C-alpha cells in the first residue's frame, strides 16, 4: 500500500477525508463544526464550494466532485458554448434580457435596431437629444403651409434659425421672393411651392419635388387658412363660403398630412403641427363655418397622433388666440374689430404676436418633444379659460326660466 493510503487512514481517524490532495472536513454528528475543522483555515476559500455531508455520514460524492473541479471556475455560459438556460439574466417581462445582442452558435451577434412593420424593418434614428443645442433641427426638412406671412412666416423664421431646411407653400405670388430673403438671412435652402393646399394634384406634385430634392420630410406645419368673409348667423351662411372654409382648413390639412406621412414613416421620424383656433373650443356668434373647420382639424390631429405614434410621428394642434397678423391688422384699421375689447377679454391684457405662436410650433417640432402627441396647446393669453362671455349674442329676456 502506498503512502497515500496511510494519509487517508490518518485523515479518517481525525474526522477528515482526503480526495485528490484536498482535505475535506467531515461534519460530526449534530451538524456543527468540530474544533479541528475550525482550526484549519488554510482551505477556508475552498471549503465554501463543498456541500455539507449528512450528520454522521461521509462527505457525499457531489461534494468531492465539486472540490475536484475547483480549478475549473469557468462561467456557465462559456462551458456550455452559449448562454446557459439557467444563467440567462431575465428582463422585466420574464424573458431573456435584451441588450441589442444575441448569440448564434456561441458567437455574439449585434441585433439591428429598428421596427418591424408591414413594409419591412424601419430603422429608427436614435440621436442624442440636446434641448439647448444651437441648431436642434439641423438636417431636418420642414414644410410650412401658409408661409408667406403671419404665423406661417414667423414659424419659418424660427425653424430656419433652429437649423431646418424649409419648404414654403402658399398661393401668394410673392412667395419666391420671400423664400429668397429667408435663404439669404439664415443661409438655408428654402424651396418655394406656389400652390393651393386643397388642390391634391398640385400638392402631390409639390411633395414629389420635395422628395426628389431633399429625400425626406421631417416636420409639417399645417397653417394655411382663410378668414370668415362676413359675420352672419348660421342660417345666413352661403354654402360656397362654408365649402371654402372646409376646403382650405380641413381638406388642406388632410391632403398635406396624407402626402407627408409616408415620407415621415420612411425615416421613422415626424412632427405634424396643425393650426386650429379658439373657435375650435369656444362658441362665438357669426363664425359657424370657421368653427366647424377648426374643430375638424382637432379631430384630424388626434387621429394622426394615434396612427403615427409607433412610427416616430407625433401630431399636435396649436390653438392661437387673438394674434396681430396682417389680416387682423387690416380689420382693426377698417374698424371691423375692436382692439381694446379683445385685449380686455384676454387675461394677459394684450393681443398676441405671431412670434408667440411660432415659439410653441417650433418646440413641438423638436426631437425633444417626442412624448407630446395628440395634444391641443392654446397660445391665447388665457382667452379660453376666462369664463365670462362679453360678446353680444342677442337681447336679454326679462323673464327668467324656472326648472
Q: Among 147, 217, 197, which Cα is nearest to 365's? A: 217
Query: Rounded to whole angstroms, how far apart are CA atoms 98 and 296?
Result: 43
CB 145 within 8 A of CB 252: yes
Query: Grid coordinates standing for 337?
Result: 374689430
- Count of CB atoms situated within 10 Å of the CB of 387: 5
Q: What is the largest CA-CA distance in the chain?
A: 127
Q: Which of 397, 362, 378, 401 is nearest to 156 (CA)?
A: 362
Q: Which of 290, 311, 342, 383 is catalytic?
A: 290
Where helices occur in 162-313 by DSSP H, the ranges are 175-186, 200-214, 239-245, 252-267, 288-308
- Which three cell numbers, joined as nine digits, stand for 386? 376666462
Q: Report the alpha-carbon distance of residue 270 to residue 265 in Å, rounded.
A: 7
Question: How many Cα atoms occupy the beta-carbon half-sphere of 303 within 13 Å?
Answer: 10
Nearest to 361 by CA among 272, 291, 299: 272
Is residue 342 part of the annotated active site? The answer reads no
Contact 285, 235 (CB under 8 A): no
What backbone torsions phi and psi does residue 247 show, to the nearest 5 degrees? Answer: -65, -45
HEC string for 210-235: HHHHHCCCCEEEECCCCCCCCCCCHH
Angstrom distance (rounded) from CA 246 to CA 390: 28
Q: Which residues are catalytic?
A: 290
Amino acid at each position: 500500500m502506498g503512502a497515500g493510503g496511510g494519509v487517508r487512514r490518518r485523515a479518517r481517524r481525525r474526522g477528515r477525508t482526503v480526495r485528490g490532495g484536498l482535505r475535506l472536513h467531515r461534519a460530526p454528528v449534530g451538524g456543527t463544526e468540530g474544533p479541528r475543522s475550525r482550526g484549519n483555515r488554510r482551505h477556508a476559500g475552498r471549503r465554501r464550494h463543498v456541500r455539507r455531508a449528512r450528520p454522521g455520514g461521509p462527505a457525499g460524492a457531489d461534494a468531492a466532485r465539486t472540490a475536484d473541479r475547483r480549478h475549473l471556475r469557468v462561467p456557465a455560459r462559456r462551458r456550455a458554448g452559449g448562454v446557459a438556460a439557467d444563467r440567462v439574466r431575465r428582463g422585466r417581462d420574464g424573458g431573456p434580457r435584451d441588450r441589442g445582442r444575441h448569440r448564434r452558435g456561441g458567437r455574439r451577434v449585434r441585433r439591428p435596431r429598428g421596427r418591424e412593420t408591414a413594409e419591412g424593418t424601419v430603422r429608427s434614428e436614435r440621436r442624442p437629444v440636446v434641448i439647448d443645442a444651437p441648431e436642434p433641427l439641423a438636417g431636418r426638412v420642414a414644410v410650412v403651409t401658409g408661409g408667406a406671412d403671419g404665423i406661417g412666416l414667423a414659424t419659418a423664421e424660427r425653424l430656419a434659425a433652429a437649423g431646418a431646411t424649409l419648404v414654403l407653400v402658399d398661393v401668394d405670388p410673392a412667395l419666391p421672393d420671400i423664400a429668397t430673403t429667408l435663404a439669404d438671412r439664415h443661409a438655408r435652402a428654402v424651396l418655394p411651392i406656389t400652390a393651393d393646399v386643397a388642390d391634391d394634384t398640385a400638392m402631390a406634385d409639390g411633395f414629389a419635388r420635395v422628395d426628389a430634392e431633399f429625400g425626406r420630410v421631417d416636420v409639417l406645419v399645417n397653417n394655411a387658412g382663410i378668414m370668415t368673409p362676413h359675420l352672419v348667423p348660421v342660417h345666413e351662411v352661403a354654402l360656397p363660403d362654408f365649402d371654402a372654409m372646409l376646403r382650405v382648413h380641413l381638406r388642406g390639412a388632410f391632403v398635406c398630412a396624407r402626402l407627408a406621412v409616408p415620407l415621415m414613416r420612411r425615416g421613422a421620424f415626424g412632427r405634424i403641427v396643425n393650426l386650429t383656433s379658439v373657435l375650435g373650443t369656444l362658441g362665438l356668434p357669426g363664425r359657424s363655418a370657421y368653427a366647424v373647420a377648426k374643430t375638424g382639424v382637432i379631430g384630424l390631429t388626434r387621429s394622426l397622433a394615434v396612427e403615427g405614434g409607433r412610427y416616430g410621428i407625433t401630431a399636435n394642434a396649436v390653438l392661437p388666440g387673438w394674434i396681430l397678423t396682417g389680416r387682423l391688422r387690416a380689420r382693426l384699421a377698417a374698424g371691423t374689430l375692436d382692439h381694446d375689447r379683445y385685449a380686455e377679454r384676454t387675461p394677459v391684457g394684450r393681443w398676441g404676436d405671431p412670434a408667440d405662436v411660432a415659439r410653441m410650433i417650433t418646440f413641438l417640432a423638436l426631437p425633444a418633444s417626442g412624448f407630446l402627441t395628440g395634444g391641443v396647446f392654446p397660445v391665447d393669453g388665457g382667452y379660453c379659460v376666462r369664463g365670462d362671455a362679453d360678446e353680444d349674442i342677442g337681447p336679454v329676456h326679462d323673464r327668467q326660466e324656472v326648472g
